[in-house]
Amino acid sequence: MNLRRLLAALVLLVAACRVPAGLAAPQAMVAAAHPLAVEAGLEVLRRGGSAVDAAIAVQMVLGVVEPHASGIGGGGFLLHYDGAAQVIAVYDGRETAPTGANPTMFLDRDGKPLGFREAVVSGVSVGAPGVLAMLELAHKEHGKLPWSELFEPAIAAARDGFAVPSRLALWLGRMPGLREEPGIRAIYFNADGSPRKTGDRIANPDLAETMALIADQGSRAFYQGPIAAEMVDRVRNHVRPGTLSLADLADYRPIKREPVCGPYRVWIVCGMPPPSSGGIAILQVLALIEPFEIWRDAPNDLRSVHLIAEASRLAFADRDRYVADPAFANVPTAGLLSSAYIAERRKLMSPDRSMGKVGPGVPPGYVERGTSHMSIVDRWGNAVSFTTTIEAPFGAQIMVRGFLLNNELTDFAPQPEVDGKPIANRVEPGKRPRSSMSPTLILDRDRRLVLALGSAGGSRIIGDVLHALIGVLDWNLSVPAALAQPRVTNRNGPTELEQGTPLAGQAERLRALGHQVQVRVHEGGLAGIRRVGDGWEGGADPRRDGVSRGE
């Protein structure tokens, strides 16, 4: 064994022993982006609720205390693992474009894409929300406690008030323009227009009333009736109006899909299929790097960082070309993951030189034609990996009855075609925009759950989840250590290194290999749980307000 491999083995041995005290739970665990949400989920599990029950309680509290990231006005993707049957169910609650949407809706009069604020802060960006309908379907199939009980912690927090978390205070300070929306100003800003600070006490009685109605009547109280009418009114009468209609809301349906799964070393990695790009991209990168045996390297050494970045380039090139709503585009999922195609793409990778920006391949079978995450395990071994979002911080910045509407339609490509060829992710009526959300479940060869993981962070979600998976599976890091490790990301452009970390010290060495490098602040947003012996170990990204707790 050479010196490098000996050092790597020693690092892995040390990491294997780093199971932080108090994080292994014998029966159940919740990891999410805020302590109040985690406590709500744990209380549901204590009362005999399922992982799905806990996920609903967590989501509702997050909508109260983390309104900039998620809420009932948005959507999400949920993977459910059945501990007894050892099968994974996939729930797609992605928002949909209104029937009045058109491929040029994000272009100005000159045919150029709208500016960021003009596109986001508008009625044009709002899609029909999907998270409530999706959670209701998952609850019907996997819930144990009554639907109405799962809203109680969120209703209490919204009615009685809560302390402003640091993350919410940060975004309020960054976005003074939020004061232009009266509902937002009344809750999150002082009388003099200054933003509420960390620790200030705030309440949202309108949201408490809205959630109480949904708790009592189910999701139909949201998709039909006065709440729906007010959503449509706000969107269609905005200064930049959209086309959302009552029919768009009443007709929304969540979709059950099959997970996209593939092998990695001794595990089975399962993720979200299209319209998410996360599952395919993560499996592609893992397949591309597997023969390089980066598990022999020390965590985040130059070779592994280079290889992860190069494989990510290839995955993002394919993502941008092929992945969209499968009801509207021919997504060659099997071809993108086929061993022959992966082997051909791997030939572009060099261990000592960057390929630079790369184009997509031609996979077999192709024919031309603000976010939050939670991971939960219950006492029966069932698990949920659930990523939820309203897109940009505070979504479209339109508040209705205490909740914020999403700006999810800006995830569509602003231009419908390039060089005369239609873009797969162009806007079309009723279509679900491509996402990077990557809720992920890892199984062993006996199909026992090993790890539940996901992240917030826009298109950087894919790299974050990938890097954390490699940390746990290849470098044997504990979940907290894997989630805290410095980040490297490549989205088929610059290789991004996290500012203020040892990894940033690799910048010049990567540039010498031909990488364009950016050193930048990283927002993070991971939450994960893995099996440790007969119990569970959890972690939440230290870059945010999240925690993990078990019973």
Angstrom distances, CA of residue 458 to CA of 60, 197, 470, 523: 21, 25, 20, 10
CB half-sphere exposure, 32, CA atoms < 13 A: 35
Beta pairing partners, 264: 267
Give the model's pLDDT for residue 26: 65
Q: How far is CA 181 from CA 310, 399, 430, in A?
A: 43, 7, 28
Q: How far, in Å, CA of 514 to CA of 405, rounded?
A: 43
Looking at residue 378, its amino acid is D
Among candidate residues 96, 243, 333, 371, the one labeled active-site is: 371
Q: Is 99 a catalytic residue?
A: no
Round to whole Å and give the CA distance between 336 and 361.
9
Cα angle vertex 160, ends 378, 148, to 5°? 45
Q: Which two tokens stand for residue 79?
A: 């993977």
Helices within 66-204 (DSSP H only): 116-120, 131-142, 152-160, 166-174, 182-188
Q: Which two tokens stand for residue 131?
A: 């998270």
Q: Which helix (H) or strand (E) holds 517?
A: strand 517-520
What's the pLDDT score for residue 346? 96
CB atoms within 10 A of CB 418: 10
Give me the amino acid identity at 181.
E
* Non-local CB neighbours of 100 within 8 Å, separated by 6+ positions: 242, 243, 244, 245, 429
Q: What is the reported pLDDT for 291? A: 97
Q: For residues 39, 41, 46 and 51, what is the CA-based torsion angle, rounded to 10 degrees?
A: -160
Residue 509 CB neighbours (<10 A): 13
Q: Round to whole Å and give the CA distance between 143 and 53.
A: 5
**Do 171 and 393 touch, CB atoms closer than 8 A?**
yes
How many angstroms separate the CA atoms of 65 and 63, rounded?
6
> What DSSP designation does 105 have?
T
Please state the CATH superfamily assignment of the domain spanning residues 24-161+203-277+370-487+529-551 in this structure: Gamma-glutamyltranspeptidase, small (S) subunit (3.60.20.40)
DSSP 1: -
Q: What is the spatial distance between Cα 137 and Cα 358, in angstroms, rounded to a whole number? A: 41
- How many angstroms separate the CA atoms of 454 and 80, rounded? 13
Q: Which one, of 540, 542, 377, lies nearest residue 32 by Cα?
A: 540
191 burial class (0-12, 13-18, 19+ CB within 10 angstroms)? Answer: exposed
Name the amino acid, one letter, at 87.
V
In three-state secondary structure terms, 364 is coil
Smallest Cα–Cα separation from 55: which of 160, 142, 167, 155?
Answer: 142
Q: CB under 8 Å, gap of 24 or more: what pairs does 18-24 form?
A: 18/477, 18/478, 18/481, 19/478, 19/532, 19/537, 20/478, 20/480, 20/537, 23/478, 23/479, 23/480, 23/537, 23/538, 23/539, 23/548, 23/550, 24/532, 24/533, 24/535, 24/536, 24/537, 24/550
Per-residue pLDDT of the chain (551 residues; tens, 9 = 90+): 343 333 333 333 333 334 333 344 568 999 999 999 999 999 999 999 999 999 999 999 999 999 999 999 999 999 999 999 999 999 999 999 999 999 999 999 888 999 988 999 999 999 999 999 999 999 999 999 999 999 999 999 999 999 999 999 999 999 999 999 999 999 999 999 999 999 999 999 999 999 999 999 999 999 999 999 999 999 999 999 999 999 999 999 999 999 999 999 999 999 999 999 999 999 999 999 999 999 999 999 999 999 999 999 999 999 999 999 999 999 999 999 999 999 999 999 999 999 999 999 999 877 544 789 999 999 999 999 999 999 989 999 999 999 999 999 999 999 888 888 889 999 999 999 999 999 999 999 999 999 999 999 889 999 999 999 999 999 999 999 999 999 999 999 999 999 999 999 999 999 999 999 999 999 889 999 999 988 999 999 999 999 999 98
The pLDDT of residue 395 is 94
Query: What is residue 75's three-state secondary structure?
Result: strand
CB neighbour list of residue 391: distance below 8 Å, 6 or more residues apart: 74, 120, 125, 370, 371, 406, 407, 408, 410, 411
Nearest Cα neighbor of 487 from 312, 267, 265 is: 312
Q: How far apart are CA 447 and CA 436, in angstroms?
A: 25
Alpha-carbon distances of 274 from 35, 258, 442, rounded to whole Å: 31, 10, 19
d(CA 56, CA 62): 10
Q: What is the pLDDT, as a whole number, of residue 369?
A: 46
Q: Are strands 383-389 and 371-377 parallel, antiparallel or unpaired?
A: antiparallel
